[in-house]
Amino acid sequence: MSKLEIVKVPDPILRETSAPVDSVDADVRRLMDDMLETMYDAPGVGLAAIQVGVPRRVIVLDVATDEEEPQPLLMANPEIVQLGETLRTHEEGCLSIPGVNVEIERPAEVTVRYVDRDGAARELAADGLLATAIQHEVDHLDGKLIIDFLSRLKRDMIIRRFKKQQRPASV
């Protein structure tokens, strides 16, 4: 396994729609493993392949607390098939937009269909933080970021700040 570089805003790849995975083969498993290592190292609770520059529908998650055993979830072609009616507001951060947190209201429960690391079709009903993290990562696969939940003015200010940070310093 190896750590991958996390793509940051305003890189345009983050706005791309990710392509489905044809099958979970050795390359996809290696990508999942590398993404998991990258996510744990960051540290974060979720990571989409597009965030490491790979426009494929692959996400990894682990919402276990530090006191719990790791509970990694590796998903290819995740598809949210049902959203709960109850809403939950949670402050979300993003490894591609470090230092920015956004209060976002999302359904508190989701059901997601996906293919696991072994190529088996699965369905998972999730609630709480896991439901939020799944929705957040699936948004990435569709080119949507947490800053899209903000007003245009706030979103533009954040993007300008990141563009400014990328400029080389004058000597």
Q: Identify residue 77 by its one-letter amino acid code.
A: N
- Residues 113-131, mean pLDDT to the nearest whole number: 98
Active-site residue 92, yes or no? no
Predicted pLDDT of residue 110: 98
- The answer, yes or no, to whether residue 138 has pLDDT greater than 70, is yes
d(CA 72, CA 69): 10
Whose CA is closest to 78, among 58, 98, 94?
Answer: 58
CATH class of 12-166: alpha beta
Is the distance from CB of 60 to CB of 72 less than 8 angstroms?
yes
Predicted pLDDT of residue 171: 53
Predicted pLDDT of residue 169: 60
Q: Which of 37, 79, 91, 137 is catalytic?
A: 137
Predicted pLDDT of residue 168: 72
Predicted pLDDT of residue 165: 87
- Residues 119-126, mean pLDDT to the nearest whole number: 98
20 Cβ contact partners less than 8 Å away, ≥ 6 residues apart: 56, 57, 77
Q: What residue segments make up the domains of the chain, in order of their start? A: 12-166
Whole-model pTM: value is 0.94
- Residues 82-105, mean pLDDT to the nearest whole number: 97
78 Cβ contact partners less than 8 Å away, ≥ 6 residues apart: 57, 59, 112, 113, 114, 134, 137, 138, 141
- Residues 27-38, mean pLDDT to the nearest whole number: 98
Predicted pLDDT of residue 170: 57
